[in-house]
Amino acid sequence: MILKMDVIKNIVKERLQLHGIKPSLQRMAVMEYLMTHRTHPTADMIFNDLYPDIPTLSKATVYNTLNLLVERGVVRLITIEEKSARFDACMDPHVHFRCRSCGAILDVNVEAHWIPTMPDGVTVDMSETYCIGHCAKCNNLVNN
Amino acid sequence: MILKMDVIKNIVKERLQLHGIKPSLQRMAVMEYLMTHRTHPTADMIFNDLYPDIPTLSKATVYNTLNLLVERGVVRLITIEEKSARFDACMDPHVHFRCRSCGAILDVNVEAHWIPTMPDGVTVDMSETYCIGHCAKCNNLVNN
DNA sequence: CTTTGTGCAAATTCTTTGCACCAAA
DNA sequence: TTTGGTGCAAAGAATTTGCACAAAG
């Protein structure tokens, strides 16, 4: 019998190898974290959550790994929050929403990304849309 | 006779006052810089360009001023560049494009901002779209 | 006077780098 | 044995903060 944990680990491993990234323990852990936590975490959050289980993990390795993953196009770097970079392993088209009150960052599904008409000669290989406002939970708190 | 410089300074002053911001020398200088330089500068660029003319200017004041301007909705904070925040005094709807090669950040005019359909209860008061790719100039260099 | 803005330096926070060590091919 | 990958500490960069002084009403 194959455990669920092993299934996930295999998906993680394959995705890394597909992009020419050697699946070390630390890289697998970071990638698995991103795939199982859709919270758009910062490097710091990832480190803090993983550290208890992987005491040999260092913050520099988390940063290095995230940079590598972004470079190879395995995860998205999200700059919706000025303070620190956030990461997302979901590469399907979607936009991000940040709540001004609680700071939560949510995914909003869309058919496809909007790419505005560009001036002649300009080529676009990536586009991101960020929306900022108030989430349903925070709106309810105010109105009730 | 009214000098062109005075006209600009008056517009700057009015725009600040309209948002309840006292038009000090430093604030006027930062705002005028943003309105006359459509380069989406960083706080550092603004400081470096203004410093020769205003030797008493301090970098902290530039940061404080920019934060105030963003807070009051007089300028836009742009996070298209991971390293540092960029600012834009143009509040008309437009999207930003960054060239991977030369790093330039260009404005792209659009009719209106795209605001995707949000989940129930979510309200959006701001949206930003960033496109990344290669600008016309850099594409030409490669192809010729 | 009282309030508000500013300069300065120090502090914080986020991120990258250099280097020695370790593990796998 | 050679090639990465990692941990650690230190460096670096961007931004914020605390405080005393200056300016303006």
Provide the positions of strand C that have an atom within 7 A of a protein CB: 4-10, 13-18
Q: Does the CB of B116 have a partner CB in chain A at under 8 Å?
A: yes
What is the rounded distance in angstroms from the CA atom of residue A33 to the CA atom of residue A143? 36
- How does the average pLDDT of chain B come out, rounded? 92
- Reply yes or no on whether the pLDDT at A141 is more than 80: no
B129·A128 Cβ contact <8 A: yes
- How does the average pLDDT of chain A come out, rounded? 92
CA B83 to chain centroid = 16
Binned at pLDDT 50, 70 and 90, residue B141 comes out as confident
Q: Which residues contact B94 (CB under 8 A, 6 or more apart)?
A: B107, B108, B109, B110
**pLDDT tens digits, residue range A28-74?**
999 999 999 999 999 999 999 999 999 999 999 999 999 999 999 99
**pLDDT tens digits, residue range A78-91?**
999 989 999 999 99
- Reply yes or no on whether the pLDDT at A6 is more than 80: no
Q: How many helices (H) and strands (E) does chain A have?
A: 5, 5
What is the rounded distance in angstroms from the CA atom of residue B138 to the CA atom of residue B136? 6
The tokens for A56 are: 């040999």
Burial zone of A36 (CB within 10 Å; 0-12 exposed, 13-18 middle, 19+ buried) = exposed
Q: Which residues contact B52 (CB under 8 A, 6 or more apart)?
A: none
- Reply yes or no on whether the pLDDT at B63 is more than 80: yes
Global pTM value: 0.90
Residues 67-96 of B with CB under 7 A from strand D: 67, 83-85
**pLDDT tens digits, residue range A61-71?**
999 999 999 99
